[in-house]
Amino acid sequence: MARTMNFNAGPATLPLPALERARDELLDFAGSGMSVMEHSHRGKEYEAVHDEALSLLRELLAVPASHEILLLQGGASMQFALVPMSFLPQGGSADYVVTGAWSAKGESEARKWATIVGARVSVAATSHECAFTRAVPPEEAKLDPAAAYVHWTSNETIHGVQYLDLPRFGDRPQICDMSSDFLWRKFDVAPFAMIYGGAQKNIGPSGVTVVVAAKSFIEQGRKDLPSILQYRAHAEARSLLNTPPTFGVYLVRNVLAWLKGIGGLDAIERRNREKAAVLYTAIDADAAFYRCPVEKGSRSVMNVVFRLPSEDLEKRFVDEAKKHGMVGLKGHRSVGGIRVSLYNAVEPAWVTALAGFMKDFRNRNG
Amino acid sequence: MARTMNFNAGPATLPLPALERARDELLDFAGSGMSVMEHSHRGKEYEAVHDEALSLLRELLAVPASHEILLLQGGASMQFALVPMSFLPQGGSADYVVTGAWSAKGESEARKWATIVGARVSVAATSHECAFTRAVPPEEAKLDPAAAYVHWTSNETIHGVQYLDLPRFGDRPQICDMSSDFLWRKFDVAPFAMIYGGAQKNIGPSGVTVVVAAKSFIEQGRKDLPSILQYRAHAEARSLLNTPPTFGVYLVRNVLAWLKGIGGLDAIERRNREKAAVLYTAIDADAAFYRCPVEKGSRSVMNVVFRLPSEDLEKRFVDEAKKHGMVGLKGHRSVGGIRVSLYNAVEPAWVTALAGFMKDFRNRNG
């Protein structure tokens, strides 16, 4: 069976070896005569998987001992609620940097909680006025020196805008939504108070959320919330406060083991940058036909967006690509156009095939 | 490969055909050249699975049009927080019936939220004084006529106590945690304002939570919370407010399709009652050796708990059973003893084998 060339924005394509491993042992995990999803989350078989997922994350991301790694549920959307609930106290304020649909969502959800407790949410910087086509640098941000934290989104999946250099917005605690920016390259975790992301891009299937947070920051979180809403409670329970999504965590383990096996973040970063270079070169080579609206310095390595001369051509592009075995190319419904997601498990050969198709399509329609 | 006889309390054993189906199409879902977990949650392939899971739930449980079905994340523990957040207003009160570890947890988590907003949580009835060995009937409950809702737990997984007749506690809205009581028998959904349960007993893998709630009740929920914490928002989005745990929902679909195929709730209820009868008969036949602490009228059909004359014998029982291919028999660490969970996918033959083992064990050790 030929693998479909899958450029979905998430849930995204997963590494074939991780899936094959899941298939091969689906009915019989480690000779136990049961699926891993039938094991108790308190039994040694699952706990070994859980601990391996956590230690692979720590190793691959080089997470320092100062930081905790949590495996939660609910995706980034749940974090949009939990972050202000834990860290935005009555009378306090938080800064949000808004550079696309996801950071805007994070900001508007935080504002709801702020209204409930009587706190303030400020937009410290935004690229709204240029239709989210650039990552606003810290120099342009109006930061509140008393903010409880600064929240920003390192890669905007819908708008294809990325902070390639992972800057720092002032000296208050930095909380970063890295959902579509996690685990494709090396970066220094230490400066962040908290980073989080849904697994369904580079880490595994949907239904698992990875949070990495400074232990000292977790300790500052509000203590009177229901336990499940407190990072502290999850940290104390090693992410076994309640029944975790065991099969999801198992798949995360498989993906991480694959990533380590092919050389870790150094190897995958090289591969990802090459894929993005192939695609942006194909766009720029036909700049009169393919137009990437994003400023060059903010072009995402993970989600490449571009337009064609008309919506009709865009529709034809998506339809014809599908006939060539390439799916997931339609831009998000809120912005239109084409979006190509280049997550870790996207094969370089798929990108080469797409670039070839783009050239051919332009020759036939340009 | 022989299937292990798995009596886990959850995550629990799953029907083999549902797992085999998952294995067979893990790499290629519906001829798409991709795993179902690699499909977009906005694509027609996954949406068909999502809608099928919802419609099978509606059909199997005979959920009336007055009620919404939601597929959420976070397990019952998340519901312990979301229920009071949505339905317990400032100055209001809620009644909690406490008949075991899980209802006690629901009550203590609700109390946290009540303290934050300035509301009251009352224990309307409890079997704490008899160590949670009976389901307290509504006649003994001190109900607050002004309560926003009454919360109770129809089956206590740890204590093996079940409301076999699903009573009604007064005339205020009834919210019932049915995590280990869902989908093993027919019951009338209509009288409930809300029922919920983690999937990992009878419905599927961990990481999916099923909520069934009256639309009119959902509408009464607090409207200013972050969206992800509002039932309303999930209902409006057909449980696609954010990325759902797609593979978990797919497995739920497989389990539901299996259940329908073997005859639905009528067939499975008969089978479940027979399994429980075999086991309780084995216990009562050796009442001097095996002792079920639960009052006869409250004995759970799903989770059968019993003690042996000593902890040493209990340990030996668990160890020897394991050598015979039976696992998941150790009682919860908080109460000790033996626990046998008899969820839908537990084969009657396993229960017969266990009853045989019990007789043999008693003959050798009694």
Quick check: B23 and A19 CB within 8 A? no
- The pLDDT score that the predictor gives to residue B1 is 58
Query: Do the strands A174-177 and A194-198 form a parallel or antiparallel pair, or are they unpaired?
Result: parallel
Decide if B207 and A112 are in contact by the 8 Å CB cutoff: no
CA distances (Å), origin A112, targets A80, A102, A115, B220: 10, 16, 5, 18
Tell me the one-letter amino acid at B336: G
Which residues in chain A have Cβ-Cβ distances shorter than 8 Å to B10? Answer: 40, 243
How large is the ipTM?
0.98
- The span from the CA of A196 to the CA of A210, in Å, is 6
Give pLDDT, residue A195. 98
8 A C-beta contact, residue A53 and residue A260: no
pLDDT average, residue stretch A294-298: 97
Res A1: pLDDT = 58
The 10s digit of each residue's pLDDT in B58-106 is: 999 999 999 999 999 999 999 999 999 999 999 999 999 999 999 999 9
d(CA B38, CA B29): 9
State pLDDT tens for residues B205-232: 999 999 999 999 999 999 999 999 999 9
**Measured between alpha carbons, how far is A320 from A239 in angstroms, rounded to an integer?**
45
pLDDT tens-digit series, residues A198-244? 999 999 999 999 999 999 999 999 999 999 999 999 999 999 999 99
Q: What is the pLDDT of residue B206?
A: 98
pLDDT tens string A345-366: 999 999 999 999 999 999 999 8
Q: Which amino acid is at B360?
A: D
pLDDT score recorded for residue A274: 98
Q: Is B201 among the residues known to form the active site?
A: yes
**Does the distance separating the beta carbons of A225 and B116 come in below 8 Å?**
yes
Using one digit for the tens of pLDDT, what is the confidence trace for B290-348? 999 999 999 999 999 999 999 999 999 999 999 999 999 999 999 999 999 999 999 99
Bond preceding residue B191 cis, omega within 30 of 0:
no
Split at pLDDT 50, 70, 90, the class of A11 is very high
Contact A11 B328 (CB under 8 A): no
Inspect the interface and report whether the beta carbons of B40 and A229 lie closer than 8 Å: no
Count of CB atoms within 10 A of residue B186's CB?
A: 14
Mean pLDDT of A25-30: 97
The answer to whether the CB atoms of A73 and B77 lie below 8 A apart is: no
What are the residues whose beta carbons fall under 8 Å from the beta carbon of B74, sequence distance 6 or more? Answer: A73, A74, A78, A228, A242, B209
Q: A198 and B243: CB-CB below 8 Å?
A: yes
* Active-site residue (options: A102, A113, A152, A350): A102
Share of chain A above pLDDT 90, in %: 99
Judge whether B177 counts as a catalytic residue. yes
Q: Do A80 and B38 touch (CB under 8 A)?
A: no
What does the DSSP 8-state code read for residue B91? Answer: T
The per-residue pLDDT for B366 is 80
Q: Which of A238, A236, A227, A195 is nearest to A79 (CA)?
A: A195
> What is the C-alpha separation between B299 and B275, in angstroms, rounded?
13
Closest chain B C-alpha to A33 CA, distance in angstroms: 5
All residues of chain A having their beta carbon less than 8 Å from the beta carbon of residue B328 are: 40
Residue A82 backbone dihedrals phi, psi, to 5 degrees: -70, -35
CA distance A244 to chain B (A): 6
Task: Please identify which of the residues A113, A184, A201, A275 carries the catalytic annotation.
Answer: A201
A116 has a pLDDT exceeding 80: yes
| Known catalytic membership, residue A165 | no
Model pLDDT, residue A260: 98
Say which of A13, A74, A327 has its CB closest to residue B74. Answer: A74
pLDDT of residue A2: 84
Residues 6+ apart with CB under 8 A from A339: A7, A9, A158, A160, A303, A304, A305, A329, A330, A331, A332
The shortest CB-CB distance from A242 to any of B77, B110, B248 is to B77
What number is the average pLDDT over the span B168-196? 97
**Which of B331, B20, B363 minimizes the C-alpha distance to B340?**
B331
Q: What are the chain B neighbours of A109 within 8 Å (beta carbons)?
A: 226-228
Which site among A243, A254, A344 would you substitute to test the B interface, given the most B Cβ atoms closer than 10 Å to its Cβ? A243
| A276 Cα to chain B: minimum distance (Å) | 21
| Chain B neighbors of A21, CB-CB under 8 A | none
Average pLDDT for B111-136: 97
Q: What is the pLDDT of residues B20-32, one digit of tens each?
A: 999 999 999 999 9
d(CA A183, CA A161): 17
In chain B, the residue whose alpha carbon lies closest to the alpha carbon of A115 is B224
For residue B12, which residues of chain A lie inside 8 Å, CB to CB?
A: 38
CB proximity list for A312: less than 8 A, separation 6 or greater: none
Q: Whole-angstrom Cα distance, residue A346 to residue B276?
A: 50
* Mean pLDDT within A246-253: 98
- Is A243 in contact with B10 (Cβ distance < 8 A)? yes
Q: Which residue among B14, B38, B73 sits closest to A207, beta carbon to beta carbon?
A: B73
pTM across the whole model: 0.98
pLDDT in tens, B248-290: 999 999 999 999 999 999 999 999 999 999 999 999 999 999 9
- Residues of chain B with C-beta less than 8 angstroms from the C-beta of A228: 74, 77-78, 80-81, 109
Q: What is the pLDDT of residue A366?
A: 80
Residue A113 pLDDT > 90: yes
| Inter-chain residue contact A16 with B27, CB threshold 8 Å | yes
Secondary structure letter of residue A123 according to DSSP: E
The pLDDT-based confidence of A128 (bands split at 50, 70, 90) is very high
The two structure tokens encoding residue A36: 């891993």
Q: Considering only CB atoms, which chain B residues are within 8 Å of A251?
A: 37, 247
